[in-house]
């Protein structure tokens, strides 16, 4: 996904790990020019410790 949060107008996202764990994040404070694809590699799962979650608009 190449569009930014600002373009989507979303206020929250769901972050899915490959292990099945997911968390809801409030993105109000994120810069509007951040892309989902830029953020995905930076998430670390609290359950399995894995990186590279999938981020979807809430």
Interface residues toward Zn ion, by CB under 5 A:
17, 19, 21, 45, 47-48, 50
Query: Closest separation between CB of residue 31 and Zn ion, Å?
Result: 26
**8 backbone dihedrals φ, ψ, rounded to 5°:** -80, -30
CB-nearer residue toward Zn ion: 16 or 30: 16
CB-nearer residue toward Zn ion: 8 or 54: 54
Query: Closest separation between CB of residue 45 and Zn ion, Å?
Result: 3
| Residue 22 CA from chain centroid, whole number | 10
Q: Are 58 and 11 in contact (CB under 8 A)?
A: yes
């Amino acid at each position: 996904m190449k569009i930014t949060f600002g373009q989507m107008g979303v206020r929250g996202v769901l972050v899915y790990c490959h292990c099945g764990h997911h968390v809801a994040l409030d993105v109000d404070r994120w810069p509007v020019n951040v892309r989902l694809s830029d953020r995905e590699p930076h998430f670390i799962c609290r359950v399995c410790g894995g990186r590279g979650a999938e981020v979807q608009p809430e």
